[in-house]
Structure 1
Amino acid sequence: MKTCPNCGAQTVDEAKFCESCGFNLEQNNAGAQQAQPVNNPNPQGAPQNGPVPTQMQPAVAPQFNGYQQYQTFNPNDHTKEFDARDIADNKFFAAFAYLFGILGIIVALLINNSPFTRFHAKQAVKIEICSVIVLIPLIIPFLGWFISGACFLALIVIRIIAFVNVIGGKAMDVPLISEIGFMKG
Structure 2
Amino acid sequence: MNAINSLRHETRTAAILRDELVRRYPSLAEDAQALADTLEGETDLDKAIAAVIGQIGDYEMLAKAARERSKEIAERAKRLEESADTMRGAILAAMEAAGMKKLTLPEATVSVGNRQPGVIVTDEEAAIAAGYAKVKTEVDKAAIKDALKAGNTLPFAMMGNGCTSLTIRRS
Both proteins in one fold, TM over 0.5: no
With normalisation by structure 2, the TM-score equals 0.23
- The structure that is strand-richer by fraction is 2
With normalisation by structure 1, the TM-score equals 0.22
- The structure that is helix-richer by fraction is 2
Greater relative contact order: 1 or 2 (C-alpha under 8 angstroms, separation 6 or more)?
2
